[in-house]
Amino acid sequence: MRRIKLAIIGVFALGIALIAQTMPAQASGTYTGAEEICTTGGGCGSAGGVLQRNGHYYMMTVAHITTPAALGSDVYAYHPTFHYVGKLAYRSTTKDLALIDMGTSIPGAKLRISDATTFTTPPGYVIPSVAQIASVPTGADWAYYNSICTTGWSSGSTAIKTKCGYADNTISGDCNTDTCGIQAYSGYIGAANDTGASGSPVWQPKPDGTVRLLGFMSNCIQTLPCSAALFRPVYLFPTYNWSTAETLAGYPTGAGGQILL
């Protein structure tokens, strides 16, 4: 795979450090697979998808939005209402992966992409605001330069934002290993026009109105607003070999897991 060295001038900000929560934990609202989250003692960003592992269900995101919170810290979602999500159970700072334990009840594994009824992506596919995740890749088997999109919250916004671009292997290093690239068609890409968008789900629109979950936004390329970015592919999560240092005490180490559709 072709590699071009580009300076990564900016990385998505870690988000605003949380003040210790004084509000009681609330039951999680209807999960739609794209959430703005904040970690007690850490930062804020976006997350999504559902990974089943050892009888628990996890929301996936990138590790740096949880730093410097300790493993086991509480995680809250802020939109559309404030509610308790779960706790930080796994974090790899080397691969920039994290798993938020949402408990043992099965959440709906869909993807919210818009506040409107539908969202039209290039090349004209109409996707419902809460889209069905029809598939996930097991490797970098999507076609480069085909349309892909990213959905998340920008810092200070209460509206979910989706922007589309195309998969681009010229900026991604080695997508088969740990990072993949996305370029904007024009302007900025994703919700990455300001801080808070790290962890935004990256997905591929399908002609039938379903989506394919590809990964989670990790690094901005060049300066904000980003015209290109890197994302962590979703297929890293079920195969990553979690070490003891990366795992909350009482949780199983090692690889394993299944992404729910």
Rounded Cα distance, 215 and 158, in Å: 23
Q: pTM of the prediction?
A: 0.87
The CATH topology of domain 34-108+238-259 is Thrombin, subunit H (2.40.10)
As its CATH architecture, domain 111-233 has Beta Barrel (2.40)
Q: Where are the extended beta strands (E) located within 64-207?
A: 74-77, 83-92, 97-101, 110-112, 118-121, 125-128, 130-135, 147-152, 161-167, 180-184, 201-205
What is Dmax (Cα atoms) for the chain?
Answer: 51
pLDDT tens string, the chain, 261 residues long: the values are 322 223 332 333 333 233 233 333 333 447 888 888 999 999 988 999 999 999 999 999 999 999 999 999 999 988 767 889 999 999 999 999 999 999 999 888 799 999 899 999 988 999 999 999 999 998 887 767 788 999 988 666 778 889 899 988 788 767 877 889 999 887 787 554 455 678 999 999 999 999 999 999 998 887 667 788 899 999 999 999 999 999 999 999 999 999 998
* Range list for CATH 2.40.10.10 in the chain: 34-108+238-259, 111-233
